[in-house]
Amino acid sequence: MFQTQKLLFVFLCFWFAFQNLNAQLGFCSGNSGDPIFTEDFGSGTTPGPALAPGTTTYSFTTGQPNDGSYTISSNTNFFDWHNTNDHTPGDTNGKMLIVNASFNPGEFYKTSITGLCENTSYEFSAFLLNFATSVSGCGSNLIPVNVKFQIWDDTDTNLLATGDTGDLLFTQSPTWTPYGLVFKTEPGQTSVILKMINNGSGGCGNDLAIDDIAFKSCGDFIELTNTSGENSIAQCEDEGVIVSTTITATPDNSIFNSHFYQWQESADGTNWTDIAGETTNSYTTPTILDARFFRVKVAEDFINVSNALCNVVSEPFGAILLPFANAPISNGDVSTCANLPKPLIANVPVDEFINWYDAPVGGNLLQENSASFFPITSGTYYAAASSTLVDCFSLTRTPITYTLFDLPELTDEEQFLCENTLLTLSSNMINVTFEWSTGETTNAIQVDTPGTYSLEVTNMNGCSASKTFTVIEIEQPEFEAIISDDEDIMITTTNEGLFEYALDNGPFQDSPVFELVEGGLYTVRIRGINNCAEVTQEFIHFVIPKFFTPNGDFVNDVFTIQGLEFFNAVEIRIFDRYGKLITQSNSTAFSWDGRFNSTLLPSSDYWYHIQTENQEYKGHFALKR
């Protein structure tokens, strides 16, 4: 029983250790030193050279790598893979390790890293790319890239750290993905072995590139601040020198248990020299007359602080005395049409920005921190430059002129086309060019069809505007009926349209009703608006009163019918409400005084029946006493 428990305990210890090792995939959380090992696989247009013996079990090829083979090349135009450049920034014809996975999972890359320091944390990093594309003919069977990184001691028996990338799936465009692994050397250990193991099988997919393998020392994150809590100082040259300041290094204690320091300075932020005697966690600068950068090297052991393989360096603390910026460089004056706004553009170095003003000195700030500016009116505008670190504006501003050309002034129109005629459409403009929707390029065109016509006009400045002519056809009117309604004449047509109406030679009106017209013979005229051709018809207007008042006041004392005189033959009969014939006549000058056999008839409704040569009229009227 005891032996079983002991074995279980050993297994659990191994299992937890294995889990912890697999959990180490990641990057240094603090500061790093300068790279102590890099592998970017060189550059050139020819493949190779092959990796050193013992680095890989894969076969080298100078051509297309098949399953279980590799090449080192700047060209990736193989199969249906992504065709891309290597990862190394600024690398002309840069090469990369290109691997077509073997059919069986296993180790495909192994190299030794020497010259390390004992009891020191390091960061391994590399960039991977999956070559597969969406057009790979594997469908759901496409095998993803999946790599395990391992760091072993120099005896290849003690695993220091391990981590898996997980499935690196295909992307629409070539995408380099960084991976890292942090480990710590053991006492007396100055070299390690890096292994890369393919977790997946070969076949359709699992094709990858590797580039920019690097090892760096890894230590605490070191924050540099002065007594004001600033990480850098920058001021404009007109403020004078930068006075002495004390910079303090504060480690986060995430990795190191102890700290030893060496301060450095640089004039350019690239080339660094040690500052003699400055080996504490703080440094007081002298008065600074020009740009200076400061940083500190930190190691866990005193002996390692001067060893670039073992120390880490903080981010630099900049103390920069900036000269006035130069005035921006103009991209040129801008002229454009009102409907095609274009920006004014000026250029400054990447560490400067531009403000825009409406005056060469002072004036109004129009836009901040922009290399371009869109004015809304013509005029001269001014660009001033300053550093992004501190306001240190150029002593002069760059003037740029903006000219905004007006567009041709056009207004849409509605025009009326008389049936079976031509209509002229015109812009009535000069010093412009024309382009009609019909393809014609003249000032005016003639159309015979209703619809929509467009015209684009371009002036001498090349600015264009458009207008639309809506052409509405006016049909020729057709008479339906002309009716006398008491003293009014009412006209109807068989078709509808924008018509005008007139009697004889009188003026045209929009209404088809003429009011208070005396009886008689009239010529009724109808035409479409816009002076379209007219149609005419003669009409005898009967004015049959609706009542008369035979009371002897000489006003409306007799019942008469206006318009009878224009007929050759008429017959008129008057009846009372019971159908009794009261009077009748064949005279076109008929009138009735309201009597029957010289007897005054009472107030009542009476009925008329009028027969002309070709028409019969019936109705009633009132006699009022």
- State percent of the chain over pLDDT 90: 77
The predicted structure's pLDDT at residue 11: 30
Beta strands in 430-474 (DSSP E): 433-436, 444-447, 451-458, 464-474
Bond from prior residue into 477 cis (ω within 30 degrees of 0) = no
- Each residue's pLDDT tens digit, 62-117: 999 999 999 999 999 999 899 999 999 999 999 999 999 998 898 999 999 998 98
CB 494 within 8 A of CB 439: no
Which tokens belong to 450? 């209703």
Among 2.60.120, 1.10.10, 2.60.40, 1.10.3470, name the CATH number for the domain at 15-217.
2.60.120
> Strand, coil or helix: what is 141?
helix
Comparing 526 with 323, the larger pLDDT belongs to: 526
Query: Exposed e or buried b for every residue in 528-543, given b needs 16+ CB within 10 A?
Result: beeebebeeeebbbbb
Q: Does the domain at residues 547-623 carry the CATH identifier 3.40.50.300? A: no
- pLDDT tier at 23, thresholds 50, 70, 90: very low
The predicted structure's pLDDT at residue 266: 96
Same fold yes or no, 15-217 and 329-405: no
- Each residue's pLDDT tens digit, 328-387: 999 999 999 999 999 999 999 999 999 999 999 999 999 999 999 999 999 999 999 999
User: What is the domain class of 329-405 according to CATH?
Assistant: mainly beta
pTM of the model: 0.53
- State percent of the chain over pLDDT 70: 96
- pLDDT tier at 583, thresholds 50, 70, 90: very high
Average of per-residue pLDDT across 117-128: 92
Q: Is 4's pLDDT higher than 50?
A: no
The predicted structure's pLDDT at residue 24: 56
Average of per-residue pLDDT across 50-56: 95
Average of per-residue pLDDT across 278-288: 95
Q: Which of 334, 423, 324 is nearest to 372 (CA)?
A: 334
The predicted structure's pLDDT at residue 136: 65
The predicted structure's pLDDT at residue 10: 30
Which tokens belong to 131? 């070559």
Q: Does the domain at residues 479-541 carry the CATH identifier 1.10.10? A: no
Domain locations along the chain = 15-217, 222-322, 329-405, 413-469, 479-541, 547-623
Which residues make beta-bridge pairs with 534? 527
- Alpha carbons 513 and 510: distance in angstroms, whole number: 9
Fold of 222-322: Immunoglobulin-like (2.60.40)
- Each residue's pLDDT tens digit, 499-540: 999 999 999 999 999 999 999 999 999 999 888 989 999 999
Q: What is the mean pLDDT of the chain?
A: 91
CB 332 within 8 A of CB 240: no
The predicted structure's pLDDT at residue 290: 84
- pLDDT tier at 22, thresholds 50, 70, 90: very low
The most distant pair of C-alpha atoms in the chain lies apart, rounded to whole Å, by: 157
Q: Any alpha helices (H) in 403-509, and if so which ranges?
A: none
Phi, psi of 19 (to 5 degrees): -65, -40
- Each residue's pLDDT tens digit, 363-372: 999 999 999 9
Task: Count the residues in the chain.
Answer: 625
- Range of weakest confidence among 270-284, 457-471, 611-625: 611-625
The predicted structure's pLDDT at residue 397: 97
The predicted structure's pLDDT at residue 135: 67
The predicted structure's pLDDT at residue 448: 95
